[in-house]
């Protein structure tokens, strides 16, 4: 397996345009850090290229994505999301749900720094479900990343996932 590993600073999610489509980047924390505000904590990450076939995380259903849609809309536009009973409102809801799949991982990775920032967006599964990735199998480092149990529990509570526990899933092709 051909892997490129380099040290870099964490940067916010952005499209990767210069890499082949079969190459996915992962950012793996190089050390476990205590829960300090991000402004006072330096973060060193490893960039890992490769293809994941399995990913470990929380599965979010349509209801969870719809719950986050108005929150994301308000963060982007600093206004309340329009009611979804009009055509414009329905289009806004669809667009906001799509933005949730991009913005929620970054929000979670920022709030819970022991979780490696592996995917720039959630993975779409059948039935409109999405996987929030906590680790994957693209390399030994990403597969064996140690997750702080308090952070995993914090994510579960923040997303209001009830008794759901993270587990391994086959990544759809």
Residue 83 reports pLDDT greater than 90: no
pLDDT at 31: 36
pLDDT in tens, 20-73: 333 444 444 333 344 444 444 434 344 567 889 999 999 999 999 999 999 999
Q: How confident is the model at residue 173 (pLDDT cuts 50, 70, 90)?
A: confident
CB 139 within 8 A of CB 3: yes
pTM over the 0.75 mark: no
Q: Which residues pair with 132 in a beta bridge?
A: 58
């Amino acid at each position: 397996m051909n892997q490129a590993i380099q040290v870099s600073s964490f940067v916010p999610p952005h499209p990767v345009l210069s890499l082949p489509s079969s190459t996915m980047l992962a950012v793996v924390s190089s050390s476990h850090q205590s829960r300090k505000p991000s402004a006072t904590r330096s973060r060193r990450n490893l960039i890992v290229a490769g293809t994941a076939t399995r990913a470990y995380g929380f599965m979010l259903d349509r209801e969870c994505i719809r719950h986050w849609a108005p929150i994301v809309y308000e963060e982007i536009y600093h206004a309340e999301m329009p009611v979804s009973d009009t055509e414009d409102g329905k289009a806004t809801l669809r667009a906001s749900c799509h933005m949730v799949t991009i913005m929620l991982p970054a929000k979670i990775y920022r709030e819970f720094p022991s979780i490696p920032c592996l995917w720039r967006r959630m993975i779409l599964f059948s039935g409109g479900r999405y996987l929030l990735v906590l680790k994957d199998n693209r390399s030994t480092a990403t597969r064996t990343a140690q997750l702080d149990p308090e952070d995993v529990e914090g994510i579960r509570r923040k997303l209001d996932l009830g008794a759901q526990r993270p587990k391994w899933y086959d990544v759809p092709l």
